[in-house]
Structure 1
Amino acid sequence: MPGAQELELIAALQDITHDCLKMFVRPDEPIAILDFPDIKNCGDSAIWLGEIAYLKDRYAKRPSYVCTTDDFSHDELKGMAPSGPIFIHGGGNFGDLWVSHQDFREHIMELFPDRQIVQFPQSIHYSSPERLEQSRRAIGRHKNFVLLVRDEESLLFAQEKFDCQVHLCPDMAFCIGSVQPDAPRFPVLAMLRQDKEQVGAVDFSAYPHIPREDWITERHSRVRVAKALGAASALLHLSPSEVRLRKLNAAANNRFRRGIRQISRGKAILTDRLHVHICSILIARPHAVLDNNYGKIRRFMNAFSGGTDLSYKAMSIDDGIRWAREQAVGTVNDWRLS
């Protein structure tokens, strides 16, 4: 479990998050949260669980309406949350890298021009000037869009490009709090991206004894998620909105626990995923950090989470593995992990 330094960091980031969000959450108004991450990436599930935990811990509140991009209903949202802010799930998809989420976000702005829409903390990345202009126009037309961002670069970018409120806010996953890890099995575990945010081809041939994985492979979790959803659906005495919320929370918790079990297997970790970094802090595991293809992780660490001895900004894979091996050997007496 995290030590005093990590617990202090987690608590401080939770307080900063509350300072950002308290002006938008009112105890007497319903809340909607859109764009549930129905994807394999455990990090997105960690963000969702942090969003839910924040509302529960600070307000004893649950969202009145939740949805994915696929099952969103304009009429259901208006019926279940006729007033109050509309929140959109946070993460790293603001821009044109994961364009379906940006399209959905801008569609919601068009549908609800008179409602306050609050974007949970995001990282921003655009490659296309045309797509940026489309977003700029959508935000400008809305007039009551609030954008929370996770790093200084995104803050400066949004303040320059968009006509809306912009605030710097930590990632919502920290609102989960500290997490009990499983026992480690390997000295070093490499958790490296296998998607379009990876920096490029990685030559890992020099390290045949170090497991190299990612957490976007779901394996058997689909079956367990399906069972969880079926169990929630059987609770017929609950309102439809509560049944849906329990379904989505069950799926997110299943994926998050899978991710924690996976990264717990390393006594020390090498990663280029932001939420492996964040979750490694939550379980107090030393980890060497590389970056994704547009600097998202270093930007976040510079803003919020770089002040812990658990993390190390590696210059290369070789440098990161060297540091991780030193941490594993230096902190473990079990010969099987040395």
Structure 2
Amino acid sequence: MSGVQQAQLITKLQDQTHDCLKAFVDPDAPISILDFPDIKNCGDSAIWLGEMAYLQTRFNKRPAYVCTTDDFSPDELANAAPTGPIFIHGGGNFGDIWVFHQDFRERMMELYPDRQIVQFPQSIHYKSEARLEQSRRAIGKHKNFVLLVRDEESFQFSKDKFDCEVRLCPDMAFCIGKIEPEKPQMPVLAMLRQDQEQVGAVDFSAYPDIPKEDWITENKMDVRRAKAMGLFSALLHLTPSEMRLRKLDAAAQNRFQRGIRQISRGEAIVTDRLHVHICSLLIGRPHAVLDNNYGKIRRFMNAFSGGTDLSYKATSLDDGIRWARERAGVPA
């Protein structure tokens, strides 16, 4: 995939995102973004930075109020953004795998029945019919909830199950744009999940020459230092909301840059993480893609990002490593 093709794909997905979202952002009204991902996963930080980049690039706008699930304040929201839409951070936690986020989302619907709530693009997955019914009732009561989803299966599911506006939209991380990677340090790098979305235990003993990593390990001191620097930059004549935003943005940048440095080390990559796939496209690295335990990555690729010669849908770990070694020029 040439640099021109890479740029064309990214621009195409950014334009599709704008077509989907532009109706919900009023240049003259404040917006809020809830559920900042203050977690180790670099992919969630990529989504956040894409959300920020979208608002800045398309509207020259920053959110008037942001929060995590832990520091949400109704009073601060009322003071900083008494009107305008409430956005909720995107990702893959809509459903009952990461139930804490779903609880928070449904609590916001209950607290703000008269405010438009827009869910940035999500993948949808439920295991429990009871939990699905709880979500269906919460959405049905609200009447002004907009659900953006990242794949056709989530779109059809949501249209069938929920009484709300549903739109198909690319992942927000593409709004970051093309990134210049560092030089690779090894032929093949395996970036494989170590959480409850992994397909199963992976026997990696046949590949002692390939590093197997994930990107959910971080230096807590580095993140604290980044937050402190972001806060320091915000001390002069800024609102509490802007101070919090700068602190959280700095943490997201720290985590995102860590992830980009990590995956840039591989000349070719094997992964079962959606945002390793997306970030590999942003840096122009070839990568073989396995799936998570409910098909999230293939579903997204089928909707938006498949069909390039940078990514390969592997049928197994062995198949993915074979392809990655070929792309890296490793002798069979």
Question: Does TM, normalized by the shorter one, top 0.5?
Answer: yes
Separation in 1 of the partners of 2:223 and 2:127?
35
Partner of residue 8, structure 1: 8
Q: 1:226 aligns with which of 224, 227, 232?
A: 224
Question: By how many angstroms is 1:2 displaced?
Answer: 6.4
1:222-260 CA-to-partner distances (Å, cap 9, x unmatched) read 212211222233332222111100000000000000000
* Structure 2 letter corresponding to 1:15: D
User: Given the alignment of the two structures, is residue 144 of structure 1 paired with residue 144 of structure 2, yes or no?
Assistant: yes
Partner of residue 295, structure 1: 295
More displaced, 135-144 or 1-10?
1-10
* Structure 2 letter corresponding to 1:236: L
Secondary structure in 2 matching 1:22? helix
Q: Is the 8 A contact 1:150 1:169 kept in 2?
A: yes
Q: Is the 8 A contact 1:2 1:178 kept in 2?
A: no
Q: Identity rate of aligned residues, in percent?
A: 76
Partner of residue 20, structure 1: 20
1:36-61 CA-to-partner distances (Å, cap 9, x unmatched) read 00100000000000000000000000
Separation in 2 of the partners of 1:92 and 1:229?
25
Secondary structure in 1 matching 2:119? strand
1:243-284 CA-to-partner distances (Å, cap 9, x unmatched) read 100000000000000000000000000000000000000000
Q: What residue ranges of structure 2 are gaps of 5+ in the alignment?
A: none
Partner of residue 246, structure 1: 246
Q: Is the 8 A contact 1:96 1:125 kept in 2?
A: yes
User: Given the alignment of the two structures, is residue 279 of structure 1 paired with residue 282 of structure 2, yes or no?
Assistant: no
**Structure 2 CA distance for partners of 1:2 and 1:51, relative to 1, 3 Å:** farther
Partner of residue 309, structure 2: 309
* Structure 2 letter corresponding to 1:199: V
* Structure 2 letter corresponding to 1:129: E
Q: What residue ranges of structure 1 are gaps of 5+ in the alignment?
A: 331-336
Partner of residue 193, structure 2: 193
Please, what TM-score do these two structures have when normalized by structure 1? 0.96
Partner of residue 258, structure 1: 258
Q: Is the 8 A contact 2:229 2:250 kept in 1?
A: no
* Structure 2 letter corresponding to 1:158: S
Please, what TM-score do these two structures have when normalized by structure 2? 0.98
Separation in 1 of the partners of 2:97 and 2:206?
32
Q: Is the 8 A contact 1:2 1:283 kept in 2?
A: no
1:124-178 CA-to-partner distances (Å, cap 9, x unmatched) read 0000000000000000000000000000000000000000000000000000000
Partner of residue 333, structure 1: none
1:183-234 CA-to-partner distances (Å, cap 9, x unmatched) read 101100000000000000111110011000000111x2x2122112222333
Separation in 1 of the partners of 2:229 and 2:69?
23
Q: Is the 8 A contact 1:2 1:282 kept in 2?
A: no
How do residues 1-338 of structure 1 correspond to structure 2 at under 5 angstroms? 3-218=3-218, 220=219, 222-234=220-232, 235-237=234-236, 238-329=238-329
Secondary structure in 2 matching 1:181? coil
Secondary structure in 1 matching 2:23? coil
More displaced, 10-19 or 178-187?
178-187
1:282-332 CA-to-partner distances (Å, cap 9, x unmatched) read 0000000000000000000000000211000000011000000000017xx
User: How many equivalent residue pairs?
Assistant: 330
Q: Is the 8 A contact 2:230 2:249 kept in 1?
A: no
* Structure 2 letter corresponding to 1:233: L
